[in-house]
């Protein structure tokens, strides 16, 4: 069984990975996620780098992503995109002489990074409209650019079992033993934010061929068609540990050709992805997963 690692800040260089306040209600709005598909031709060291990450308050009601770019000559750019809101550009407001600590701000929206240890970069604080957020950070490699997709999870059976359920996608590359169909995008990692903690799982199980419903291809989990009319998100047969328990989960969605549904393990249309969370003491709770931007983009 995989162990999903709890981290205060997650540092992930994707190409080498191998280890296992109300703003919006949920994912039905047309979202403005930062799903950039632009390569990073020189973002491979701390002086010239691109970082991306997820943001969320404790409940997940305020959530989103950011992109931080560091260029030569002290050129920096930071953009934050909160689900349901317009993207916000933040400017450098203060820094020390060697740029190891940098503050960005735009009114009551701000982020503070500590780059003093290039192997352990920290998001010291993050706020959206003065709302405190937990933030992950992931260094993008020029050879394997990434996209970020936000989502939420919740269990009516267990109050407090909620937060954000986020996916890291590999843009145009594959890392799994059995790659997705040509032209599709591999789901490389799930990032779960729960009660102010961040959990990372990058050991994705192969799809369960008998439960695919909308595809007959056995492969690593994948998405396709984000920019078109035929959209698939296929991620089933998964198991991840977080928050002192184990979650078995799946998210399968198909949009197009007359269909607009999530699908369950029995190939029946449903309203969400699902998870089953079992605590260390053996108590099991069921819940739902919604990926932002579905249905429709």
Q: What sign does the dihedral 228-192-190-103 (CA atoms) show? A: positive
Phi, psi of 72 (to 5 degrees): -65, 155
- For 86-100, what is the mean pLDDT? 90
Residue 102 pLDDT > 70 = yes
* Environment class of 4 (CB within 10 Å of its CB; exposed 0-12, middle 13-18, buried 19+): buried
Cis peptide before 295 (omega within 30 of 0): yes
What pLDDT was estimated at residue 168?
92
Residue 294 pLDDT > 80 = no
Distance separating alpha carbons of residues 180 and 203, to the nearest angstrom: 15
190: which residues sit within 8 A by CB, 6+ positions away?
A: 4, 165, 166, 167, 168, 200, 201, 202, 204, 238, 240
The first and second tokens of residue 294, run together, are 């579905």
Give the pLDDT confidence of 212-262 residue by residue, as tens digits: 665 556 778 888 765 555 677 888 889 999 989 999 999 988 766 555 678
227: which residues sit within 8 A by CB, 6+ positions away?
A: 297
Q: Give residue 23's pLDDT band: very low, low, confident or very high (50, 70, 90).
A: very low
Q: Which single residue is written with the structure tokens 């029995």?
A: 266
- CA distances (Å), origin 297, targets 148, 151, 173: 14, 14, 23
What pLDDT was estimated at residue 33?
37
Give the pLDDT confidence of 120-177 residue by residue, as tens digits: 889 999 999 999 999 999 988 777 788 899 999 999 999 899 999 999 988 766 666 6
Query: Considering the entire predicted model, what is its pTM?
Result: 0.81
Residue 10 pLDDT > 80 = no
Query: Of residues 216 and 271, which shows the higher confidence score?
Result: 271
Q: What percent of the chain has pLDDT over 70?
A: 72
């Amino acid at each position: 069984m995989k162990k999903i690692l709890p981290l205060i800040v997650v540092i992930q260089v994707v190409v080498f990975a191998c280890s296992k306040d109300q703003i919006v209600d949920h994912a039905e709005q047309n979202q403005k996620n930062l799903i950039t598909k632009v390569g990073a031709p020189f973002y491979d060291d701390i002086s010239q780098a691109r970082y991306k990450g997820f943001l969320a308050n404790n409940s997940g009601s305020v959530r989103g992503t950011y992109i931080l770019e560091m260029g030569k000559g002290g050129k920096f750019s930071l953009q934050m995109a909160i689900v349901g809101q317009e993207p916000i550009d933040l400017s450098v407001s203060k820094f020390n002489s060697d740029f190891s600590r940098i503050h960005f701000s735009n009114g009551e929206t701000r982020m503070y990074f500590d780059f003093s240890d290039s192997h352990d970069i920290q998001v010291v604080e993050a706020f959206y409209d003065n709302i405190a957020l937990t933030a992950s950070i992931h260094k993008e490699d020029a050879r394997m650019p990434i996209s970020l997709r936000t989502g939420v999870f919740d269990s009516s059976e267990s109050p407090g079992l909620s937060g954000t359920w986020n996916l890291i996608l590999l843009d145009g590359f594959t890392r799994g033993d059995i790659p997705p169909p040509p032209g599709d995008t591999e789901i490389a990692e799930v990032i779960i934010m729960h009660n102010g903690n961040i959990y990372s799982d990058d050991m994705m199980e192969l799809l369960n061929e008998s439960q695919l419903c909308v595809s007959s291809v056995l492969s690593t989990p994948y998405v396709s068609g984000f920019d078109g009319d035929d959209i698939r998100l296929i991620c089933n047969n998964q198991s991840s540990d977080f928050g002192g328990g184990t979650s078995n989960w799946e998210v399968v969605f198909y949009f197009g050709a007359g269909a607009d549904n999530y699908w369950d393990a029995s190939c029946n249309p449903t309203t969400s992805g699902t998870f089953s969370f079992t605590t260390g003491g053996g108590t099991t709770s069921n819940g739902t997963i919604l990926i932002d931007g579905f249905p429709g983009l």
